[in-house]
Amino acid sequence: MCGEPLHNSSRYFIEKVFKQNRVLNISEIVYEYAICESCANSMSNEISNDSKAAITQLYETHSENLLRKLDYLHRTEKYSINSWVDRCSMTGKQVRLCNEYAVNGIIENGGLVYEHTPIVISDDFVQKIQDVLSEETKETFDDFKKQITDGDPSVEDLVFSPTPGLI
């Protein structure tokens, strides 16, 4: 968004949005992007307070699943990406059963951070988010999606909107 090189930011976020290719039985990246911490913060400021409260509420309702998974992964020291991205972090739905899903991560000093991230958001959970967002916030997300995908029509019908600032 700001066009600054990412190495100027000690911390930044990445998101990859996947779609299942049922013919080849693989998941393919539809789009991916990186956003620096300060741009993610300004995105987050554009989300209406009502939407923020609704999103927080949703995360809290599903946090038990996430916390249990994180506890398990840290206890078993599974610090390889595959153990972290096989299921939706919020609903537990396996990614192979998702038509679409997204993986969000934090990069710090050039490496992936294993904390409360990487997290996986399934199509089911993103639908729940979409259902509680205000129209205003949906427009903000849509504008951002257009910006990062250059208005590519093939992503228009995706249920996913970018989620910077949400994690």
Which parts of this chain interact with Zn ion (CB under 5 A)?
1-2, 36, 39
Nearer to Zn ion, 4 or 28 (CB): 4
In the complex, the smallest distance separating the C-beta of residue 33 from Zn ion, rounded to whole angstroms, is 11
Query: What is the secondary structure of 11-65 as a DSSP string?
Result: EEEEEEEEEEETTTTEEEEEEEEEEEHHHHHHHHHHS-HHHHHHHHHHHHHHHHH
Nearer to Zn ion, 118 or 164 (CB): 164
In the complex, the smallest distance separating the C-beta of residue 67 from Zn ion, rounded to whole angstroms, is 30
In the complex, the smallest distance separating the C-beta of residue 164 from Zn ion, rounded to whole angstroms, is 10
> What is d(CA 76, CA 139) in angstroms, rounded to the nearest whole number?
41
Nearer to Zn ion, 43 or 95 (CB): 43
In the complex, the smallest distance separating the C-beta of residue 3 from Zn ion, rounded to whole angstroms, is 7
Cβ(70)–Cβ(116) below 8 Å: yes
Residue 5, token pair as written in the block: 């090189």
Nearer to Zn ion, 36 or 88 (CB): 36
Backbone φ and ψ for 92, nearest 5 degrees, come out as 80, 0
